Structure 1
Amino acid sequence: MLLLYRLGIRVYQVIILIFSLFNSKAKLFIKGRKNLFNEIKQQVDAGEKHVWFHFASLGEFEQGRPVLEKLLALFPAKKIVVTFFSPSGYEIRKNYPLADVFYLPIDTAQNSKRFLELINPEMVIFTKYEFWYFYFEELRNRNIPLYVISGIFRPNQVFFKWYGGFYRQILKAVSYFFVQNEESKRLLISIGLVNAVVSGDTRFDRVYENAKSPKKLTEVEAFIGSSPTLICGSTWLEDEKLLSALPENYPDWKFIIAPHEIHESHIESIEKQFPLGSVRFSVLNSNNRRPTAEYQTLIVDNIGMLSSLYHYGKLAYIGGGFGAGIHNTLEAAAFGLPVIFGPKYDKFQEAKDLIVLGAAKSISSGEELLTAFELFAANETASIAAKKYVDDQKGATEIIIQHIL
């Protein structure tokens, strides 16, 4: 099985290399790993101990960030190394001031040894998922504590199949699991891993703190005025097609669309879907013929504003539910916004919880979107339930910090 794993890693590299010829993310994946070890050697003092945090992408970074920042608040002298697998995480957080930030070298026996020698970790923290055989084995061989935080497991994962012995071996390298729910803990116990505790999801701590001190967005305030506003976060084309019917039906509302992809062709596509009264955020301060307040739809053509935009909303639509799965519902719920999303949410416990609490609705059509919009537009109870859910679930960071120190 190890031979197949090695082969799979090599095949993946070849596929990414081919895709890099015409795909910008794949190109960044390849480019970011060129001369990577020399870059690490120049920036990191191997003579000092470091705490290594690894994140698959941006979402996992925000999820694990409360633990990283709490650790530094308690021990300001600690040195932190952060790695990302995905360009979408690295490119946005590469200048994060509290750590040295790098791409994760591809998981090979040679790379894992060299990387660990360069960063000299005293402990390692992976957030939610990504289980790399050679890195995990090398950490175990060196007796370096390895923690998985905000972990979540499902019965259909390979670890719990009769043929998953190789992957179960990877999990055995983990010193301790901090999981989101009881099911995850039971699944780990079922394969002989009792080193787990239900700590909850650190995203609740992150979104709770964000909601306490959102950034002031003057341009957005001017755009909204006193109008109720729907914040549409991390939308894709399928989401936007449904949402495009709302402005005409609700002329008294304002609509803010923060798409998942902000390349020019996607922004132009949104403008075509919302032809009347739409404006890009980047031109709000330019000399437009109409006052800002007269626009009905604002298209956010940058990355990084969404978590603060929810502060200005009455209701949220979360994208991704017609593709691989919905994006972050908790950022909106933390501000007391009921949430609407597409049908693919089965992997997200918080979405299921919010539906049960009456603070969320899943929709599959334009008609269902209109029904859900009508329901939440005049439902203060849903808003209270959404905010209370986040408030009640926070605290995972403290549980983790107390255990690993």
Structure 2
Amino acid sequence: MHPLYIIYFFLSPLIFIIILIISLFNKKIRAHLMMQNKTIQSALNTNLKNPIIFHAASAGEFEQIKPLLRKRSVNQPILQTFFSPTIYNKEKKSKLFDACCYHPFDFPWSAYYFFKKIAPKKYIINRHDIWPHHIFFAKLFKIKIIYINANLKSNSSRLRPVFKGFHKWLFHQIDIIIVPSDEIKKRFIANFETTNILTFKDTRFEQIKYHILKNTRIPGIDNLLKKKNIVLGSIDRHDWSVILESIKNTKLDKFNLIIVPHEINQKFINSIIADIKELRLKVDRITNINHKNNTTKPENVKLNCIIYDKVGDLLDLYKYAPLAYVGCGFSTGVHNISEPALQGCYVSYGPNISLLDEAIKLKKHKLSKIIYNSADFTDFTNIENNGFLIKNREKITKLFKGKNDDFNKLINRIYEA
């Protein structure tokens, strides 16, 4: 047992008190604390026998797990756990699992109670959400632990000297670690001497392909002018300041914009609308467009720009454009570039890409464009060569495809006895 874990163990009562205090000001933590035991008891009432626990902290992590849940055997009970109240409330009635509950906060008493009562066959954790007490007690109860879509950045805090030994001990408690690339595998082996590690394609790609095949239509997009569309996905103020300088010159003469803010922040959206109207261009929110189109006399105004002030549709929006700019590359780090790439877009993004392997990979293979300033964005908007776009799409599909039998092998690993 590592000394840092012992310290963490004895600090648990203090951490519990701190979380109680924070919950007074944070409604999500408060909701989780209030409902945690009730949801676990509800799961127990379903009388699942030795279920497999799948854990997803957030909506994004649940998207990664969905392909695995769709392939489960009807004879294998599944308990799905969530940490975020947002995704719990949205998905608690899903047919992809037999029962769900909040994942307990990481205290030794809650981890012990959880595994003692549920008696799972396997405990499957995903991406980043690794809780030391739950790993320790799962191991104590001889529950098989599988860590899927595991990631380890070259600058991860787990590699700092004070934490490295602790994480080496922690990862050695896990039965199987599954990583999405050989680079990450080498990083685990070099830093933690892990031997129980396998490489399989990130399950997120399976979910993206599944969603693309559904070909969901987005109403209101046909209100744009008959020009090329460019999607600005998950942008923040830093992105917009660069893009705005570009469109002040181009006046959107050759293309339309579909703007999807990183967060539905009304102040930010209002500022974008004001900026566009100042250029004498036509813009509206998708919520307004759909409301007008549902009236008896819908307006037939063609727009230069749509502000998409709804959540959950970004992947589907990308199919309406040959070009996509993915945001937050001038601030916290570029967001998901796999979705527009697999939808067939030629992708651009700001320079902060160190946290996203897919963005680094596209840059390495010269299959995307890095935007450093407004002139770069203008160059990006001028891309018209259909032959170039088709070849780029084919190369990206091949790059992200992986081995054909990867997913089936992963399914076998997850559900084998």
Q: TM-score band, normalised by the shorter chain?
A: 0.7 to 0.9
The AA in structure 2 aligned to 1:135 is: H
Match of 1:322 among 330, 347, 350: 330
In 1, distance between residues paired with 2:272 and 2:155?
37
The AA in structure 1 aligned to 2:81 is: T
Report the Cα offset of residue 325 of structure 1: 1.5
Structure 1 pair 366–136 and aligned structure 2 pair: CA distance change class (3 A): same
Residues 1:401 and 2:382 are matched in the alignment? no
In 1, distance between residues paired with 2:287 and 2:17?
37
Structure 1 pair 312–105 and aligned structure 2 pair: CA distance change class (3 A): same
In 2, distance between residues paired with 1:238 and 1:9?
41
CA contact (8 A) 2:224 2:306 kept: no
In 2, distance between residues paired with 1:398 and 1:175?
20
In 2, distance between residues paired with 1:185 and 1:398?
20
Q: Deviations along 1:302-345, whole A, 9 cap, x unmatched?
A: 11111111111111111121222211111111111011111111
CA contact (8 A) 1:37 1:115 kept: no
1:83 match: 81
CA contact (8 A) 1:231 1:313 kept: yes
2:345 match: 337
SS in 2 for 1:107: coil
Residues 1:383 and 2:416 are matched in the alignment? no
SS in 1 for 2:310: coil
Structure 1 pair 98–360 and aligned structure 2 pair: CA distance change class (3 A): same
Q: Deviations along 1:224-280, whole A, 9 cap, x unmatched?
A: 464211111122221222233455512232211122211433332332333331111
SS in 2 for 1:262: coil
1:259 match: 261
2:188 match: 188
Percent of aligned pairs with the same residue?
Answer: 24
2:52 match: 51
More deviation in 323-332 or 369-378?
369-378
More deviation in 322-331 or 242-251?
242-251
- Superposed, 1:33-44 pairs within 5 Å as 33-44=33-44
More deviation in 262-271 or 211-220?
262-271
The AA in structure 2 aligned to 1:383 is: R
In 2, distance between residues paired with 1:362 and 1:27?
39
1:208 match: 209
Number of equivalent positions: 397
Q: Deviations along 1:136-184, whole A, 9 cap, x unmatched?
A: 0111011111111111223443544543222222111211011112232
Q: CA RMSD in A?
A: 2.8
CA contact (8 A) 1:129 1:148 kept: no
Residues 1:107 and 2:111 are matched in the alignment? no
CA contact (8 A) 1:202 1:395 kept: no
Match of 2:378 among 352, 370, 381: 370
SS in 1 for 2:344: coil
Structure 1 pair 303–36 and aligned structure 2 pair: CA distance change class (3 A): same
Could you state the TM-score of these two structures normalised by the residue count of structure 1? 0.87
2:275 match: 273
Residues 1:282 and 2:283 are matched in the alignment? no
Report the Cα offset of residue 32 of structure 1: 2.7
More deviation in 76-85 or 346-355?
76-85
Structure 1 pair 87–325 and aligned structure 2 pair: CA distance change class (3 A): farther
Structure 1 pair 20–357 and aligned structure 2 pair: CA distance change class (3 A): farther
In 2, distance between residues paired with 1:125 and 1:157?
22
CA contact (8 A) 1:333 1:390 kept: no
2:223 match: 223
**Which segments of 5 or more consecutive residues in structure 2 lack a partner in the other structure?**
none
CA contact (8 A) 1:208 1:390 kept: no
The AA in structure 2 aligned to 1:371 is: D
Report the Cα offset of residue 48 of structure 1: 2.3
SS in 2 for 1:82: strand
**Which segments of 5 or more consecutive residues in structure 1 lack a partner in the other structure?**
none
The AA in structure 2 aligned to 1:103 is: Y
In 1, distance between residues paired with 2:42 and 2:83?
20
In 1, distance between residues paired with 2:244 and 2:14?
43
Structure 1 pair 358–110 and aligned structure 2 pair: CA distance change class (3 A): same
SS in 1 for 2:362: helix
In 2, distance between residues paired with 1:10 and 1:88?
27
Q: Which of 1 and 2 has greater Rg? A: 2
The AA in structure 2 aligned to 1:65 is: K
Match of 1:14 among 4, 14, 18: 18
CA contact (8 A) 2:332 2:352 kept: yes
1:2 match: 5
- Superposed, 1:128-143 pairs within 5 Å as 128-143=127-142
Report the Cα offset of residue 65 of structure 1: 2.1
In 2, distance between residues paired with 1:50 and 1:342?
44
In 2, distance between residues paired with 1:168 and 1:321?
31
More deviation in 380-389 or 2-11?
2-11
2:241 match: 241
1:307 match: 315
